[in-house]
Structure 1
Amino acid sequence: MADEEEEVEQVWSWGAGTDGQLGTAKLEDEHLPQLLSLTSLASISTLACGGAHVIALTSGGKVLSWGRGSSGQLGHGDILNTLLPKPVSFFDDYVITQAAAGWSHSGFVSDSGCLFTCGNGSFGQLGHGDNMSQTSPAKVSYFVNKSVKMVACGMRHSLVLFAENQVCAFGSGKRGQLGFSSDRTKSVNLPCLVSGLEDVEVVRISANGDHSAAISADGHLFSWGRGFCGGPDIQTPQCLPSSLTFREVALGWNHALLLTADGEVFKLGNTLNDQSEKQQRQADSCEALLEKVSGFDGVKVLQIAAGAEHSAAVTESGDVNTWGWGEHGQLGLGNTNDETNPQLVSQGSKDLHTEEIKVYCGSGFTYTVKRKQGLSSSPTSS
């Protein structure tokens, strides 16, 4: 017998679970991380977490989904909740490379650059030219020959990054989250170009709540939509005036997390939605609202994630930290308390063979995926 190394994933979930979004086969909240013993998740490469549903992509480009399905957002052709990961059979003949989960809709990007959407379409957030919902993924015809790179789904709107680094938006625009013009647009059901990014090399987009954001190749943050901490809504993308270089943005309903190229975490707004006197004074100044997250001094952060009103980060040493709203146990600390500063989440003993940890946040729940090197035995010829 010879030993061969293979990658092994561990998937953990905690927080709000009453729609089956934790994948535990139970309809209840979990205040501590739960290790999922699901063979269907053995080869996942990434997750997308929405209002109460989860999308998983396998390393081979297949799709599984579970949780709330009342609007068809799971893509299974029905409006049923699913307690355990279930393959999306529509994609059996496709390779899906990226996915996004909104409050009640979903988006999928194929290796050929096509975009598919499903779920609630009542605000036009599916981009099909109508306000109909879809229980199975449907190809968005606007992008058929446009080579889509990435999709992001907010509460009731969607963003798409496609060929030549252009950004389109569709869905609800009540708070400026579509980024079209200074005129308030209630909603659109066909993709339209976002204004002001034509000369920007966008490499990453993000959406959540009524917020939209983009990161440029040179590390600038552009944001638009609902104002943070009571500030005015922003109708078109505005570049954050900062000398910092950002490589990742994660949006919540009232806050944004920003990760710099040096592994430092900053925030705009706050995760607990309370208006302190200081925040009221600063509401009109986006630059003044940019604040370094305490608790990571001397520690490099590799990845960030944001739920509705909670936040998470993974450090270089493999620690997962959470903070913010904790009502459903989404901080994974064994209680329902809110936390203003990052707290260490315990997920069993540390494994020296762990290669990578990723954290993902839904509106009131959290997932981590740990990928590590395992040993498998294979027979040798005698």
Structure 2
Amino acid sequence: MQLPTFGEVFLTTDDVQGGLENLKLFKGKLISSLCGGCRKLFVIEEGIDNQGIISTLHSPEHDEYDKTFSQDSNNLQSFDFKGSIKTIVTGKKHTVFLSDQGDIYSYGYGEYGALGHGGIIELTIPKKIIRISKIDTIACGEYHTLALSNGDLFAWGRGFEGQLGIRKDVETAASPMFLSYFYKNRIKMIACGAYHSLAVDQQGILYGWGEARFGQLGTGRKVSEQLPSRIDFQIEQPMNQSALRVGKFLAQETNFKVVSISGGYGHSAAVTSSGELYTWGFNQRGQLGNGDKDKKSSYYPKRLMQDISGIQLPGFSKVMCGYYTTYAIDLKGGLWSWGGGNLGHQNDKLVDLPRKIVLEDRKFTNMYANGQAAAFFASLRTISMKPNHGPSTGGTIISLIGTGFCDTGRQSARFKLGDIQTEVGCEYDSLTDSFRCTTPNFEEFIDKYPVECVVEVTLDGNVYVECEQKFLIYSSKIVISSLYPKCASIQGGTTLIININIDDLTASYMKHLNVGFQPRNKKKEDKSAMKQSTNKPLNPLDLSINDPELDKENWMCVEGFYEKGKISCTIPNVSQLQTDSLNFNVDISINGQQFTGNPMVFRFYDIQIKELQPDNVMSEGGASVKIIGDGFFDTTNKRVIFKTMFGERLIEIMWDKQDRFYSFVAPPLSWLLGGQQPTSELLNAVKASGVTALLTLSGIEWIPIGTFYYIDPEVLRLGPFNFDEKLPEEQKQQFIHQEEQEIDPLKDLQGAELQKKKDELQKVLEAEEQEINYFFKKAGQYISVYGENLVNTESLLVQFIFNGNMAVNQKAIFKNKSKLIVQIPELELPTGLHDVGIEITFNGTSFSHSGKVFKYMAFDKSLNEQQKLKLEDEEMKKLKKTQPKKK
């Protein structure tokens, strides 16, 4: 780790059956180092309140000298160390630690000079090694130690296998000795295996020395290397264009640099600057990760290409070797392991190919492994915010989602925009392991929007971790410009389009929109609650559109979707909502939490269609039709549509505010043929099926209003309607109003019988015509009206036309599809005979044009019955004179 930081420490040991345990103790602590060696693991914390605290992760029995170091121990009063410990490394029987001042201390057993204090064999109290100072890095094998000071490398301890690299004749060193091999070549990185050493110079070139019998130096089949030897890398495939072929190896040039190294008991591993991972050496437990089933040692570095599933490996940043295990961190912070031992895979302790340890959302930055266990550090992450945008007036409740969060009592979030910054406290939610904070009023120090600001989280008020998402501050002045449609059925289900003028940056954040519907009071609208929406959140964290918090202001919310300046949503069903008004406020919540406070009015309707008056017209149209019902109101998008098998026709309608009905003028039937040339076949097809009529108030949603018919009434002739006047009144009325069955009198007749029947019918027809043309009818008498395709409707009328433009309508009685009867009304005419025309209508407005007439006898009201009879006789004599003579 570059600097002390917050995060999580994970441990894999026998105690968790090779799984991975999250050590909760270290949450909220500043961790500066994971370190150890052989059988020990340490966590070093650093910070204002926990400076210099060291925690052991190994079992007490591994402290062989039973003198565990503690600055608070009374037994160590002579130890006058005042600084902070930077790192600790351990061999098999000795411990070395490095202070933040660059001093090193050691204690334990000094076999082979491992303590670096000359001939001292045992130290129970850490003692400063005075021969070297300003140390940057230290590393330990089982019995030897390396220390790096400003590029100069020192070694001491056991060197029988050549692991000291001082000179060929130096097998042990009781005090630190300079490696003259690197006199003109500064070293920047060191590592130790059990009995071998590794180093990387400033150019990224890797060197190895010490034991080599397992191939752990990567320089071929050798027993050992007494002096540092350059390690070259085998070419498996071209790694970069500047690679230089030297036999079967790749000479390390400027672009090929080693950035991470580690040594195990008998194997080694390295990562290059391009993320390639190489291993070599002992492979008995699969620790090389090359999938070799024979577990043969590899005497040269070989690049690992695929994981246990056969998928190409990602790039890596760091590698760490345990005794028989290997761990690596990829460029995205993912953790991998393989080999034989505790691998973090829960009971799977033998893996010969790299396998990823799956831990959701963690990004690992450091690790340390020893002979039996390994510890891993995942830095505190603030991965995302929900929501990650809010209005400039603040008040947005943000959920900060990440890893490594805990309640320290000092956690806070800082909003930064250039040199401007403001900080707010955070609450820890233990259920979701997240932080929650409320955004401040940004308008106090920012005046241009939208802007993206950086959000940083701290657990102690000193060390801050930047959120991986930016927070967008958008203008509180964003408003809805229009709605389409402006009304909908209480059943909902249709799509509402909301037009909004918004900048592209704010629009790019609009992933979790809410559209709110709020009943408006019939009293004068109070917008105070709406205005508050911009200053305080209406819903809590992780807002749900069904959240009960919304009920406080009677909001019903649905999810919205933004695209190209428009927000769309499905209009909710409000039929069960208890409200005294169907007028609603509609507002949007850009961040899924706060409304704009500037709603637009939306109208729900509950339309109940009762009838069309009339429900039929003649083919030429032009008649006015009323739509009668409940729940009607005026809108700009009100229309009626007529649908036939050939197409549809949109019809403008009018609103009668006083009587609250809609009306329209019926179009001609020929307009409903889909542009086809009107023929009798097409017209008759529409007449037979009727027209489907629908009403819209929104332009989107269509309400069925019934079937509409085109009927052309036609009068063929008039005739008498006779019945026995002596019948009782009840029987008389029954006879008048009873429908007559239509019978074909010529059915089943043939030849002479057929002709005879035709002659009889013709005589009857002539007699009826004679009666109509040469006899008169009086008010109160009945007359028959014969036609074709007559229809029994509520508005079936007969119109009596007289004096040119005067007319009286009388309710007709339907007898069958070819006959009506009607009682002649009293007509305001002067005494005498008059020609009176008869026309019929099925809808009460559109009448036939037959021109049929009959003789009507009118009487002055002052005449008595005797005078009337006399007048009838006189008029009848006149009529008889006009009759044609019989041949």
Q: Name the TM-score class by shorter chain.
A: 0.5 to 0.7
Q: Which one has the bigger helix percentage?
A: 2
> Which residue does 2:102 correspond to in 1?
9
> Which residue does 1:224 correspond to in 2?
338
The amino acid that maps onto 1:32 is I
Among 195, 199, 208, which residue is 2:322 paired with? Answer: 208
Q: 1:232 to 1:182 in 2, by over 3 A?
A: farther
Q: Take 2:224 and 2:162, find their aligned partners in 1: how far apart are those partners? A: 7
Q: Is the CA contact (8 Å cut-off) linking 1:118 and 1:133 kept in structure 2? A: yes
> Which residue does 2:881 correspond to in 1?
none
> Which residue does 1:196 correspond to in 2?
306
Q: 1:8 to 1:261 in 2, by over 3 A?
A: closer
Q: Does 1:180 align with 2:290?
A: yes
Q: Take 2:266 and 2:198, find their aligned partners in 1: how far apart are those partners? A: 12
Q: Is the CA contact (8 Å cut-off) linking 2:212 and 2:223 kept in structure 1? A: yes
> Which residue does 1:153 correspond to in 2?
263
Q: Is the CA contact (8 Å cut-off) linking 1:184 and 1:235 kept in structure 2? A: no
Q: Take 2:179 and 2:214, find their aligned partners in 1: how far apart are those partners? A: 24
TM normalised by structure 2 equals: 0.28
> Which residue does 2:164 correspond to in 1?
74
The amino acid that maps onto 2:161 is S
Q: Take 1:81 and 1:224, find their aligned partners in 2: how far apart are those partners? A: 34
The amino acid that maps onto 2:221 is D
Q: Take 1:99 and 1:8, find their aligned partners in 2: how far apart are those partners? A: 19
| Runs of 5+ consecutive residues of structure 2 not aligned to the other structure | 1-99, 234-250, 382-405, 410-887
Q: Does 1:43 align with 2:134?
A: yes
SS of aligned partner of 1:165: coil
Q: Does 1:24 align with 2:117?
A: yes
> Which residue does 2:127 correspond to in 1?
34
> Which residue does 1:165 correspond to in 2?
275
Q: Is the CA contact (8 Å cut-off) linking 2:164 and 2:210 kept in structure 1? A: yes
SS of aligned partner of 2:111: coil
Instruction: Tell me the CA shift for residue 170 of structure 1.
Output: 0.6
RMSD (Å), alpha carbons: 2.4
Instruction: Tell me the CA shift for residue 25 of structure 1.
Output: 1.7
The amino acid that maps onto 2:378 is T
Q: Does 1:235 align with 2:349?
A: no
> Which residue does 1:324 correspond to in 2?
none
SS of aligned partner of 2:181: helix
Q: Which one has the bigger strand percentage?
A: 1
The amino acid that maps onto 2:373 is H
> Which residue does 1:253 correspond to in 2?
371
Q: Is the CA contact (8 Å cut-off) linking 2:146 and 2:154 kept in structure 1? A: yes
Q: Is the CA contact (8 Å cut-off) linking 1:19 and 1:27 kept in structure 2? A: no
Q: 1:73 to 1:200 in 2, by over 3 A?
A: same
Q: Is the CA contact (8 Å cut-off) linking 2:324 and 2:341 kept in structure 1? A: no
Instruction: Tell me the CA shift for residue 8 of structure 1.
Output: 4.2
Q: 1:15 to 1:186 in 2, by over 3 A?
A: farther
SS of aligned partner of 1:247: strand
Q: Take 1:248 and 1:207, find their aligned partners in 2: how far apart are those partners? A: 13
Query: Which range moves more in the overlay, 153-162 or 76-85?
Result: 76-85
> Which residue does 2:179 correspond to in 1?
88
Instruction: Tell me the CA shift for residue 191 of structure 1.
Output: 0.9
> Which residue does 1:63 correspond to in 2?
153
Q: Take 1:242 and 1:182, find their aligned partners in 2: how far apart are those partners? A: 27
Q: 1:216 to 1:16 in 2, by over 3 A?
A: farther
What are the superposed Cα offsets for residues 107-163 of structure 1, whole Å, 9 maximum, x if unpaired?
A: 111111211111000011111122231100011233523322222111000101114
- Higher relative contact order by CA 8 Å / sep ≥ 6: 1 or 2? 1
Q: Is the CA contact (8 Å cut-off) linking 2:275 and 2:331 kept in structure 1? A: no
Instruction: Tell me the CA shift for residue 201 of structure 1.
Output: 2.6
> Which residue does 1:377 correspond to in 2?
none
Among 88, 95, 103, which residue is 2:194 paired with? Answer: 103
Q: Is the CA contact (8 Å cut-off) linking 1:23 and 1:84 kept in structure 2? A: yes
Q: Take 1:189 and 1:253, find their aligned partners in 2: how far apart are those partners? A: 22
Q: Is the CA contact (8 Å cut-off) linking 1:211 and 1:225 kept in structure 2? A: yes
Instruction: Tell me the CA shift for residue 24 of structure 1.
Output: 1.8
Q: Is the CA contact (8 Å cut-off) linking 1:195 and 1:237 kept in structure 2? A: no
Q: Is the CA contact (8 Å cut-off) linking 1:157 and 1:171 kept in structure 2? A: yes
Q: How many residues are matched?
A: 258
Q: Take 2:193 and 2:177, find their aligned partners in 1: how far apart are those partners? A: 19
Q: 1:87 to 1:297 in 2, by over 3 A?
A: farther
Q: Take 1:147 and 1:242, find their aligned partners in 2: how far apart are those partners? A: 30
SS of aligned partner of 2:329: strand
Instruction: Tell me the CA shift for residue 298 of structure 1.
Output: 6.1
Instruction: Tell me the CA shift for residue 45 of structure 1.
Output: 1.0
The amino acid that maps onto 1:87 is F
Q: 1:185 to 1:25 in 2, by over 3 A?
A: same
Instruction: Tell me the CA shift for residue 232 of structure 1.
Output: 3.0
Instruction: Tell me the CA shift for residue 9 of structure 1.
Output: 2.6
Instruction: Tell me the CA shift for residue 77 of structure 1.
Output: 2.4
Q: Is the CA contact (8 Å cut-off) linking 2:112 and 2:157 kept in structure 1? A: yes
Q: 1:176 to 1:195 in 2, by over 3 A?
A: farther
Q: Take 2:219 and 2:299, find their aligned partners in 1: how far apart are those partners? A: 6
Among 109, 132, 144, which residue is 2:252 paired with? Answer: 144
The amino acid that maps onto 1:210 is Y
SS of aligned partner of 2:114: coil
Query: Which range moves more in the overlay, 23-32 or 78-87?
Result: 23-32
Instruction: Tell me the CA shift for residue 297 of structure 1.
Output: 10
The amino acid that maps onto 1:70 is F
Among 135, 138, 153, which residue is 2:226 paired with? Answer: 135
TM normalised by structure 1 equals: 0.63
Q: Is the CA contact (8 Å cut-off) linking 1:97 and 1:109 kept in structure 2? A: yes
Q: Take 1:20 and 1:195, find their aligned partners in 2: how far apart are those partners? A: 42
Q: Take 2:351 and 2:138, find their aligned partners in 1: how far apart are those partners? A: 29
Instruction: Tell me the CA shift for residue 27 of structure 1.
Output: 4.4
What are the superposed Cα offsets for residues 148-188 of structure 1, whole Å, 9 maximum, x if unpaired?
A: 22221110001011141101111000011100015242201
What are the superposed Cα offsets for residues 79-104 of structure 1, whole Å, 9 maximum, x if unpaired?
A: 51101110000000101110111111
Instruction: Tell me the CA shift for residue 225 of structure 1.
Output: 0.8
Q: Take 1:297 and 1:161, find their aligned partners in 2: how far apart are those partners? A: 37
Q: Take 2:144 and 2:231, find their aligned partners in 1: how far apart are those partners? A: 21
Q: 1:298 to 1:250 in 2, by over 3 A?
A: farther
What are the superposed Cα offsets for residues 254-304 of structure 1, whole Å, 9 maximum, x if unpaired?
A: 1111112039xxxxxxxxxxxxxxxxxxxxxxxxxxxxxxxx9969xxxxx
Q: Percent identity?
A: 27
